[in-house]
Structure 1
Amino acid sequence: MKFYNLEDYNEQVSFSQAVKQGMGTKQGLFFPLELPEFSPSNIYDMLEMDFFSCSSKILSTYIGNEIPSYHISEIVKKSFSFPISFVEISDNIGCFELFHGPTLAFKDFGGRFMANILSYILKPNEKITILTATSGDTGAAVAHAFYNMNNIRVVILYPRGKISPLQEKLFCTLGGNIETISIDGSFDSCQALVKEAFNDKKLKNIINLNSANSINISRLLAQICYYFQAIKYIPKEKRNKVVLSVPSGNFGNLTAGLLAKTLGLPVKRFIAATNLNDTVSRFLINKKWQPKTTITTLSNAMDISQPNNWPRIEELFRRKLWCLNDLTCDSVSDENTKFSIRQLAEIGYISEPHAAIAYSLLRDKLQKGEYGLFLGTAHPAKFKENVEKILGYPLFIPKELANRIKLPLMSNYLKADFPKLRDFLLNRI
């Protein structure tokens, strides 16, 4: 399978090269040259497989013979070695929990898969620097996935004071090959710095630059796999009526879900659930791409005004001849987020802001005869302060967080200034 650059269709690379490069020229994202599709009978068989076998088949389809299938199976088992849960919320709504990995967020799937793929394809003496931006959860997933890996330096940028204290503790207390920088700005500022670094050809070559954001194709492909697992929880007679509500910030998770649909997974429709950073929902109404200044909300991991993965979604809809207006996308205020958290708690389910937004829109937009699934993308305890204030009682803190609460932060601090970041990257080699 080849992958092409959305900004230069003539730039086509192998899977390994796309993973190692991160982005193509002109900051272009890589996208599959082919859009494979399984037959209905193949889909039926895959939904009877265990998670590892099904995931290996999906990933082998995209990677091809570049990596032998038995190696892909080994990597999958090593990467996805934690549970997934399904919780029934009502007769026609369920929550698909993806936060039972080592950093309590769905991004453990993509982060660990990318780390293990890079470990496999890098030459013994090949060194790389991974520069990535996080709005909260990517940082922890990437940091823990790559922690103590030889020849891989990880530098993580995050918006100062705009992620939860426990999110920060998860990835800013490791040290070693993990370096963290709090940036005076928004997530979009951090993301812009990453893009500037990739535009600097000299810097890119000196430090062998890569990124572990959802712009990296390996992370995106890994996320396709759990959508198949989600459908397995749905009774067979309801599988053609499934509506998936996806918390959406950088839109990588939704892109993966749409790619699962192109493979033949029976999903009736998707809901892209956003907070007040509503660039996409406004675009779908007026067809004008007009990002505004990023707004700080309760759902901080979705405080993104310029979602990186949107070009991939547009490309997918173009190639499949789908209509973008068929994608349901809407935003939810903080007040409605609080209301949904309280409503879920009343029926016995403790949620956090991102999943609550997905639930809120699913509850309001689900049609008669449909079955709705919303994705639980992070453990509520990662947002302890806000959730406890909303509910009025303390949350249980899992050991993954409890073990890091008292550890000192090891972050550096920089203004959103590329020359300063460039000096940092070069002076720490």
Structure 2
Amino acid sequence: MKFISTRGNSPPVSASEAILQGLAPDGGLYVPTHFPQIEMEVFANTSSYGELAYEVLAPFFVGDVLEGELAEICMEAFDFPLPLHWYNSQEALLELYWGPTAAFKDFGARFLAIAMQRLLQKKSQKLTILVATSGDTGGAVAAAFHQREGIRVKVLYPKGKVSLRQEKQLTCWGDNIEAYAVNGVFDDCQRMVKEAFMDGDLVEEWGLSSANSINLGRLLPQVVYGFYASLEVLRQTGKEPTIIIPSGNVGNSCGTYWAKMMGAKIERIVLALNANRSVLDYIE
């Protein structure tokens, strides 16, 4: 499986190369050249979320240096529960907050951290992770990458714009995790990170990569729980679900849509938006 840039001006790469690079050299995001089709029957013998995750992600890693280690990565990364809580016979909530930092971003951050560490061990290489956060992302990334050999993490967050609890999650780690309060808003933090990635000399000197949702390693685990939600509802009701997703950067929405394109039995995907109209403005 190869991955190409959404801007179309970078050569195809493997999953591992996309994960280590974060952004494509032309500034685009890495996406698969095609979506593999998965029959729901392959999940008949899966007894854990980690096993299900392996079945979903395996086609993306065919021929990759991590292909033989993917099952272990999934079992290590997804070692916490994922309950589907039913309110009544028609409505259920997928509880994505049972990870170490109580954020859905633990799924992507833990998978990314474990995959990156294994890749760096193979290459005897060091990496610097740049992260812009408005709270949850930085905490999840810091927890996932803490004390991982060969990886330094620099977290940028807007000063005075995160809760006290979130700031403590960002700044309590030490060791290989450093957090910086930026005089500005989240968009300023994100702009600084993107500018750093567009500086080729800086990327090479520091071995820069990203752990934000732009990284393929963060997005692929979000595909998994689209399959999981579909499968659990089918098992319990015999019906294909409509999945309603609170949407910000539309990472979960994108992951769930990818799952549907790959064969997950999902009737509809509904995006729930707040006063932030960016996605709605784009669609309209």
TM-score tier after normalising by the smaller chain length: over 0.9
TM-score by length of 2: 0.94
SS in structure 2 at match of 1:181: strand
Q: Deviations over 1:206-260 (max 9, x none)?
A: 1010000011101111121122222233144855441111121111111111111
C-alpha distance in 2 between matches for 1:22 and 1:68? 17
Match of 1:120 in 2: 118
TM-score by length of 1: 0.63
| Cα offset, 1:68, TM superposition | 5.5
1:242-321 to 2 correspondences below 5 Å? 242-285=241-284
C-alpha distance in 2 between matches for 1:194 and 1:47? 43
SS in structure 1 at match of 2:101: coil
Q: Any gaps of 5 or more consecutive residues in structure 2?
A: none
Conserved 8 A contact 2:128-2:151: yes
Match of 2:31 in 1: 31
C-alpha distance in 1 between matches for 2:264 and 2:134? 30
Match of 2:107 in 1: 109
For the pair shown, which has the larger CA radius of gyration, 1 or 2? 1
Match of 2:188 in 1: 189
1:20 maps to 2:17: no
C-alpha distance in 1 between matches for 2:140 and 2:99? 9
Number of residue pairs the alignment of both structures matches? 282
C-alpha distance in 1 between matches for 2:70 and 2:87? 35
| Cα offset, 1:32, TM superposition | 0.5
Q: Pick from 67, 80, 87 the counterpart of residue 89 of structure 1.
A: 87
Conserved 8 A contact 1:240-1:267: no
Supply the AA of the counterpart residue of 1:107. Answer: K
1:365-384 to 2 correspondences below 5 Å? none
1:205 maps to 2:204: yes
Mean Cα displacement is larger for which, 107-116 or 153-162?
153-162
Conserved 8 A contact 2:197-2:203: yes
Conserved 8 A contact 1:19-1:217: yes
| Cα offset, 1:111, TM superposition | 0.4
1:164 maps to 2:140: no
C-alpha distance in 1 between matches for 2:152 and 2:172? 15
Conserved 8 A contact 2:9-2:26: no
Conserved 8 A contact 1:3-1:30: yes
Conserved 8 A contact 1:139-1:171: yes
| Cα offset, 1:274, TM superposition | 2.1
C-alpha distance in 1 between matches for 2:178 and 2:280? 35
Conserved 8 A contact 2:130-2:153: yes
Match of 1:53 in 2: 51
Q: Deviations over 1:22-71 (max 9, x none)?
A: 10123111010121112xxx313425522222211111111112146541
What's the C-alpha RMSD, in Å, of the aligned pairs? 1.7
C-alpha distance in 1 between matches for 2:153 and 2:235? 43
Identical residues among aligned pairs (%): 38
C-alpha distance in 2 between matches for 1:47 and 1:277? 40
